[in-house]
Amino acid sequence: MLRLRVVLDTNVLVSGMAYPGSLPGRIVQLWHGGGLDVVLSQYILEEFARVLPHLSRIQLSPREVRDMTDSLMFLADIISPDAEQDTALRDPADQQVLAILQTSGADYLITGDKDLLALAATYPIVTPAIFLAKHG
């Protein structure tokens, strides 16, 4: 079976790490088990490192957060996205994430972000629940 190549938005990545039994957690487990190829960017890694320490569920020192972020660099395909702006995107801050999907040729962008999900008719953007229903 051909492995899927996916972009994990920061919200899925953080939720998957914080709540292993959740739907995002199942996706992260699929990735760590070798069932998915994940594409990330420096932007997502930086956002991950910025958000993770604010979760009360995860008690990590700044060094542990840095080490975890660094380890993701070895587990994922890290790209520098280069894509045109999509004017239909409601939140311009999400352009960085959409550009990863556009540049990488990934099969899906998995996210819980409503602004990105609004473009699901144009791009292969799905929630963790939809992804797992199709491929879990």
pLDDT score for 45: 95
Nearest Cα residue to 99 out of 116, 85, 120, 78: 85
How far is the C-alpha of 132 from the C-alpha of 65, rounded, in Å?
Answer: 27
| Positions of the chain with pLDDT under 50 | 1
The predicted pLDDT at position 84 comes to 77
pLDDT tens per residue, range 24-58: 999 999 999 999 999 999 999 999 999 988 876 77
What is residue 3's DSSP assignment? P
Give pTM, 2 decimals. 0.93
Provide the pLDDT for residue 90.
87
In this prediction, residue 2 carries a pLDDT of 66
HEC string for 57-114? CCCCCHHHHHHHHHHHHHHCEEECCCCCCCCCCCCHHHHHHHHHHHHHCCCEEECCCH
DSSP state of 121: T
CA atoms within 13 A on the CB side of 53: 12
d(CA 7, CA 13): 10
